[in-house]
Amino acid sequence: MSYSTADSLPTVTLDDVRGAQKMLSGVARVTAMEGSRHLSQLVGAPVHLKCENLQRTGSFKLRGAYVRIAGLLPEERAAGVVAASAGNHAQGVALASSLLGVRSTVFMPTGAPLPKVAATRDYGAEVRLHGQVVDETLAAAQEYAAETGAVFIHPFDHPDIIAGQGTVGLEILEQCPEVRTIVVGIGGGGLVAGVATAVKALRRDVRIVGVQAAGAAAYPPSLAAGRPLAVEKPATMADGIKVGRPGDVPFRIVQNLVDDVVTVEENHLSSALLLCLERAKLVVEPAGASPVAALLSEPGAFEGPVVAVLSGGNVDPLLMQRILRHGMAAAGRYLAVTLRLTDRPGALATLLGVLSVADANVLDVSHVRTDPRLGLTEVEVELHLEMKGPEHCAEVNRALREAGYTVID
């Protein structure tokens, strides 16, 4: 580790990342690199998926957490460590601490998904539920550190964390030496800063592109201003990259080494998750799918070969169900239509006959008869349909209009 003379912020070197790689030998998996024919056809160049969703604990977070905790002094280890997280960082700290024989306490929001809470406990941490949002949880963890002397393990704003995450970049160069573009999701910036540190030291010609959710994109305005700025009330389904402010240490590295930061909308995130599941047979959380979302939103912007880092796969099953439905709708695979019928025998059967001819699979039907907007002889019907794509959606809407039905927006 070295220090920037400009502002005394610590920075990270290639030697730091190589040292982290040696430290992680036998601890973190060298995760698979899988080709994607579908994305390759879309981009017009080879696309590979770096599967950190298959890492131990289900994300890259173990790498940085282990390096950070392993570097503690004996007296610091004796005091234990504390972290705050809604999921991936919690599990990474819990497992790393158990492997190193260090006591760990992890604060999680009271609304954290039960599978993530259970996994964190199973990895050996004492879990304390506090606060409704991560900011409240973070404050509680820092207060605990001040009271007990436990070492606070930040999820991204520390050089050891960044060095550990940078080992992903070394693996990419080993597994895909011909790579021209690496696409990485960004929350606080620890992963992309580590990858950029390792890759740019060895291959200046490789383009590094960071991806943020549009509703939680703190990096573009921060880079424009030249300093970290906070985004108030970040909002996105991708909780793994829903960070309100860049970390000071990763920001300086991103500023110097990352070529571009792009944003993606929620529909691209859900479509990317669905694509990973259907085409690559990989369970990926929304944050982990953000690089794929960037490829979907602007496929011509990436020179190949491209490596997209799937940073994690820890997604709550209930959230997965909602996201998949959202993704199916975005991909034209799911359609909800509402229309009004005359409330008489056979009216619904006639409507279903039109849909049958149009080859639309009806998943659900609901009726409303008591709305004051309806006439005495009217009924409002909402149908949820399984579709084959955008063209099929247009065909069904056209068939309904030609049959005399008015679809209500």
Instruction: For residues 69 and 65, give the distance between their C-alpha atoms in angstroms, rounded to a whole number.
Output: 6
Residue 267: alpha-carbon gap to chain centroid: 13
Residue type, 186: I
SS3 380: strand
**Nearest CA among 33, 154, 173, 148 for reference residue 90:** 154
Following CA atoms 389, 390, 393, 394 in sequence, which dihedral angle do they give, to the nearest 10 degrees? -140
Candidates 50, 61, 200, 242; catalytic one = 61
281 is a catalytic site residue? no
- Give the DSSP per-residue string, 16-60: HHHHHHHHHTTTS----EEE-HHHHHHHTS-EEEEEGGGSGGGBT
User: Out of 97, 104, 271, 311, which one is annotated catalytic?
Assistant: 311
Q: Distance (Å, rounded) from C-alpha 272 to C-alpha 190?
A: 22
- Estimate to the nearest angstrom the gap between the alpha carbon of 389 and the chain centroid: 25
- Is 222 known to be catalytic? no
Alpha-carbon span 121 to 134, nearest angstrom: 18
Transcribe 303-369 into DSSP letters. PSSEEEEE-B----HHHHHHHHHHHHHHTTSEEEEEEEEE-STTHHHHHHHHHHHTTPEEEEEEEE-
Residues 63, 20: Cα–Cα separation, whole Å:
8
What type of residue sits at position 64?
G
- Provide φ and ψ at 316, rounded to 5°: -65, 135
* 182, 195 Cβ separation under 8 angstroms: yes
Instruction: Please give the radius of gyration of the chain, using alpha carbons only, rounded to the nearest integer.
Output: 24
Q: Residue 201 and residue 173: Cα distance in Å, rounded?
A: 11
Q: Give the active site residues.
A: 61, 311
